[in-house]
Amino acid sequence: MRARNGTIHKNRRKRLMRQAEGYRGGRHRLYRFARHAVMKAGFHAFNDRRRKKRDMRALWIQRINAAVRERGLSYSRFMDMVHKSGVQMNRKTLAELAFSDPRAFDVVVETVRTAA
């Protein structure tokens, strides 16, 4: 008969059960369900770290679009003029300006308009 309660075996299970703390129902209590839940959580965590980047870019684009439309432009025309005028600002910076400092964003829009 083989030994099944060695320290390595116990520690591996204990580590997994610690990861499953806070899960609901048997997923934090029963090893088989906890293992499945932890694997699935890791899968979602991995994917969502990449998804977060997409979501943030979409948010920046929405904020820039809303701000630029108030100033009589469309997002695509504005970004085209930004690239042609040589303004070295990324979408994150433009969105932050549009959101927190509209007057500074007005200056950027006028600079881009005159350059393009």
Strand ranges (DSSP E) for the chain? none
- Read off the DSSP letter of residue 24: -
pTM of the model: 0.78
Condensed to tens digits (0 to 9), the pLDDT of residues 15-43 reads 999 999 999 999 999 999 999 999 999 99
End-to-end CA, the chain: 81
Please state, in angstroms and as integers, the Cα–Cα distance from residue 48 to each residue in 51, 61, 82, 109, following that order: 5, 20, 31, 34
- Tokens 């204990």 belong to which residue? 14
CATH number of the domain at 7-115, please? 1.10.1900.20
Q: What is the pLDDT of residue 69?
A: 96
Condensed to tens digits (0 to 9), the pLDDT of residues 60-116 reads 999 999 999 999 999 999 999 999 999 999 999 999 999 999 999 999 999 999 987
In the chain, domain spans:
7-115
- Read off the DSSP letter of residue 70: T
Amino acid type, 11: N
- Helix, strand, coil percentages for the chain (3-state, nearest 5): 80, 0, 20
